[in-house]
């Protein structure tokens, strides 16, 4: 059977990663494959720069959409995909090889998983993780300072000039077209339970069909 494709997007700082980590923990690798669009960032030398010469990593053009789509087709066919893990432009880091193992449920996540029509057409369930702007900026500051060692001035500059304008123009319009909205201002527990239960039921139906019952 064709894998069931779940696409999850949301603005930076909305809590996509935490939500997806909860889903990942609830299933085995044999049941669920998670693919992050972050691993399809183009090299820094190919990134567009703003008027101040700062690379803008929040544009649709920041990603290798064609490579992402082709790898999705391979996973849908039952093939596994191995590629370099994205290292967030850390020149001192050596990228690790990561492998995506095809599974009955494939979850793809990222800022622009709904951006191209041919990718949208592959997705069976579209999910949008949403949060108020004040929560998103706080989470962004904490993440970028603790995980990536970015100065707070850099975080705020990118949020004002890159993150928010691109969210409003390219990502937010999908809010009215998705199947499920996860409001993650304080927690996402109920939404997680709903999605987990839905996916569990899908796996049960697959097992029944495969067994010919």
Q: pLDDT per residue over 22-53, tens digit each?
A: 999 999 999 999 999 999 999 889 999 999 99
- The Cα–Cα gap between 95 and 87 comes to 6
- Show Cβ contacts of residue 95 under 8 Å, excluding neighbours closer than 6 positions: 84, 85, 86, 87
The confidence score (pLDDT) of residue 30 equals: 95
Burial of 165 per CB tally in 10 Å (0-12, 13-18, 19+):
middle
Residue 58 predicted with pLDDT over 60 = yes
Residue 122's pLDDT is 97
The answer to whether 179 touches 7, Cβ cutoff 8 Å, is no
Q: Confirm if 190 and 181 have CB atoms less than 8 A apart.
A: no
Q: In what order do the strands lie in the sheet with 125-130?
A: 32-36, 105-109, 4-10, 125-130, 180-183
pLDDT band per the 50, 70, 90 thresholds, residue 178:
very high
pLDDT digit string, tens, across residues 80-123? 999 998 887 666 778 889 999 999 999 999 999 999 999 999 99
């Amino acid at each position: 059977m064709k894998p069931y494709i779940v696409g999850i997007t949301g603005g930076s700082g909305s809590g996509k990663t935490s939500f997806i980590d909860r889903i990942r923990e609830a299933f085995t690798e044999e049941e669920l494959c998670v693919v992050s669009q972050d691993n399809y960032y183009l090299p820094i030398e190919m990134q567009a720069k703003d008027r101040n010469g700062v690379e803008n990593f929040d544009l649709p053009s920041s990603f290798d959409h064609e490579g992402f789509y082709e790898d999705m087709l391979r996973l849908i066919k039952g093939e596994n995909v191995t590629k370099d893990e994205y290292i967030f432009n850390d020149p001192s880091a050596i990228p690790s090889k990561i492998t995506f193992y095809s599974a009955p449920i494939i979850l793809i996540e990222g800022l622009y998983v709904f951006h191209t029509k041919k990718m949208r057409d592959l997705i069976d369930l579209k999910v949008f993780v949403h949060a108020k702007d004040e929560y998103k900026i706080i989470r962004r500051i904490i993440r970028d300072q603790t995980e990536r060692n970015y100065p707070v001035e850099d975080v705020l500059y990118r949020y004002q000039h890159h993150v928010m304008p691109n969210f409003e123009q390219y990502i937010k319009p999908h809010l009215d077209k998705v199947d499920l909205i996860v409001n993650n201002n304080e927690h996402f527990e109920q939404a997680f339970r709903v999605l987990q239960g839905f996916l569990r039921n899908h796996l049960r139906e697959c097992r029944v069909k495969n067994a010919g019952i």
